[in-house]
Amino acid sequence: MRTHRLPPLRSASLSAALRCPQGVVDVVRDFDPRATTLFPGRGQEDARAQADLVRPILDDLQGRLRAQGVDDPHAQRVLLVLQGMDTSGKGGVVRHAIAMMDPEGVRVHAFKAPTPVEREHDFLWRVRRALPEPGIIGVFDRSHYEDVLVQRVEHMASPDEIERRYGAINDFEREVAASGTRVVKCFLNISRAEQKRRLAQRLDPSGAKYWKYDPGDLDVRAKWDEYMAAYGLALQRCNQDEAPWFVIPSDHRWYRNWAVARVLAETLSSMNLTWPPARFDVARERERVANS
Amino acid sequence: MRTHRLPPLRSASLSAALRCPQGVVDVVRDFDPRATTLFPGRGQEDARAQADLVRPILDDLQGRLRAQGVDDPHAQRVLLVLQGMDTSGKGGVVRHAIAMMDPEGVRVHAFKAPTPVEREHDFLWRVRRALPEPGIIGVFDRSHYEDVLVQRVEHMASPDEIERRYGAINDFEREVAASGTRVVKCFLNISRAEQKRRLAQRLDPSGAKYWKYDPGDLDVRAKWDEYMAAYGLALQRCNQDEAPWFVIPSDHRWYRNWAVARVLAETLSSMNLTWPPARFDVARERERVANS
């Protein structure tokens, strides 16, 4: 088995540095969206080179994970949850970090407003159905956290129901972890000012980004403080060791993409992923191939 | 709207050159697995540069396709069917050509031996369930063609039933095309000698490819001629203009990956994909953002 060394970091682990601490969280006060924590280069000009260092590691580890899943229904899995305000870059992370890996080993699921059928079930019903299969890295672009974020801010569920959901989420995520899935939750933290710049970019005259713009996004933006408070509560109430939150500084796109790729690589790296052993007599099969 | 120029080809269109002709097909006699038809470089040493030319085109066109699907349930889709013998590179195409695009706009579906539930239904049942949604590029790694390939060679269905299936497939693919899906079917054509080399590679002592090796692959290999005959029939009987077959010379991995990416780019390029117009008053929204 080959071993992997991750490219040198300025300290031991990006995951440790970006892990959301336990206890009360004030998103705006506690975390700097412009930080470039532990980035081993100078800045954007080194982003491509740093991505090129992470890519083969991520690709190889994901290959091992997937190989283990081929014949083993109990093989490990990974669930990466991406949450963040509009324009924070959930889609950008998929496009730049998740795309480093083999599409056959990855399942991306974008959660929209619940359909009528989904609304007939408990809020976790549709989430369970989208959990990754053995050996697969599942990526949630939005997730069950919307049910304690938008639903809290917009009063779409009662305060009691929202309280119940924090507990239900913790139970659910513990159960998912216990069944062999590493849960990695990333809050893509952008500033209010950066969101404004990005919304304006979506309206640039080329028209190539009109489809990403929804006038309703500004209504959400108008409740920025309430959303930050709801995020703070979600980060505080649902931050178990089995399903930790990472706060990804996301005002710099290049840093955000690198950081998520790197946190994912560190997670995979800690899973002791070996290539599965042969389920056949290798010497005999070599001979059969030679004679075929 | 920006327009796209595909990188210059030695002739008008790779799709036209690799299109399987109508009529009787003898796979081994008619197609050269080592061909590098219309490759605009010298060979493998130019493969990366040529991929770098196709990637941004493919990525941009797929972005437009996906954008159209966001709000329009009747938006166009693409279905790319990959078929070929073991080791022909269906997974390699996904990893190298399909991975050029945004994972959120692509759905890869690998068809395995039918499950008990799937066997309770008509052979097209599970295929219909995996068809791409609006704006999505669906990729089938194996497909309903297995039901006229392995099932024919292994006598898993009666000759009458196999005959029925050619017609059922044609009806199905016409229906899929009529509902707004471009169907592109690629037969990855490798030689018997190249397959032997690749099976041996899977047994190399690093062990990193053992998981891809199945002793049963040699039993399939032993029936090479029967499989080529079955492919010939499938290419002949199910080769409508609405769902054409392309025969991809696949002994050279670098050529195979480039050719599929390029055929896909040509397909997307012929779909007149524009960025969807704004569904809002752009000037007013610019002002709202500025004041937000």
Classified as helix, coil or strand, A287 is helix
Q: Tokens 């500025």 map to which residue?
A: B290
Average pLDDT, chain B: 94
Tell me if B119 sits within 8 A of A113, measured CB to CB. Answer: no
Residue B1 pLDDT > 50, yes or no? no
Q: Determine whether the interchain pair A285/B213 forms a contact, defined as Cβ–Cβ distance below 8 Å.
A: yes
From A94, A199, A203, residue closest to B282, measured CB to CB = A203
* SS3 (DSSP) at A181: strand
CB contact under 8 A, B292 and A199: yes
The identity of residue B12, as a single letter, is: A
Is there a contact between B210 and A110 if contact means CB atoms under 8 Å apart? no
Q: Rg for chain B (alpha carbons), in Å?
A: 20
Q: Do A199 and B289 touch (CB under 8 A)?
A: yes
pLDDT in tens, chain A (292 residues): 455 666 665 555 999 999 999 998 999 999 999 999 999 889 999 999 999 999 999 999 999 999 999 989 999 999 999 999 999 999 999 999 999 999 999 999 999 999 999 999 999 999 999 999 999 999 999 999 999 999 999 999 999 999 999 999 999 999 999 999 999 999 999 999 999 999 999 999 999 999 999 999 999 999 999 999 999 999 999 999 999 999 999 999 999 999 999 999 999 999 999 999 999 999 999 999 999 9
Q: Can you give the pLDDT at residue A4?
A: 62
Who among B108, B200, B288 is closest to A218 (CB)? B288
Q: Give the nearest chain A residue to B104 (CA atoms).
A: A108
Give B-chain residues touching A286 at CB under 8 angstroms.
Answer: 200, 203
- This prediction has a pTM of 0.94
Is the four-CA dihedral A81, A85, A90, A91 of positive or negative sign? Answer: positive
A276 chain-B contacts, CB cut-off 8 A:
210-211
Two tokens at A233? 């509560």
Share of chain B above pLDDT 70, in %: 96
* Among the partner residues B218, B288, B292, nearest to A288 by beta-carbon distance: B218
CB contact under 8 A, B110 and A104: yes
pLDDT in tens, B106-158: 999 999 999 999 999 999 999 999 999 999 999 999 999 999 999 999 999 99
With contacts defined as CB-CB under 8 Å, which chain A residues touch B280? 213, 215
Distance from CA of B67 to the nearest CA of A (A): 6
In chain A, whose CA is at the least distance from the CA of B211?
A: A67
A68: chain B residues, CB-CB within 8 Å: 211
**pLDDT at B9 (0 to 100):** 55
Q: Order of strands, edge to edge, in the sheet holding B181-189?
A: B106-110, B137-141, B77-84, B181-189, B245-249
Among residues A81, A75, A183, which one has the least CA distance to residue A135? Answer: A75
Best A210, A213, A257, A287 residue to mutate vs chain B (most B CBs within 10 Å): A210
Residue-wise pLDDT tens digits, B163-189: 999 999 999 999 999 999 999 999 999
> What is residue A137's DSSP assignment?
E
Tell me the pLDDT band of B71, cut-offs 50, 70 and 90: confident
Cβ-proximal residues to B69 (8 Å cutoff; 6+ apart), any chain = B75, B76, B77, B133, B134, B135, B136
How is A194-250 classified by DSSP, letter by letter? Answer: HHHHHHHHHTSTT-TTGGG--THHHHHHTTHHHHHHHHHHHHHHS--TTS-EEEEE-
Which residues in chain A touch residue B106, judged by CB atoms under 8 angstroms apart? Answer: 103
Residues 6+ apart with CB under 8 A from A60: A2, A4
> What residues in A contact B99, CB-CB < 8 Å?
99, 102-103
CB contact under 8 A, B106 and A104: no
For residues B109 and B138, is the Cβ–Cβ distance under 8 A? yes
Note the pLDDT of residue A1.
45
Shortest distance, CA A179 to any CA of chain B (angstroms): 23
Query: B2 to chain A nearest CA, in Å?
Result: 9
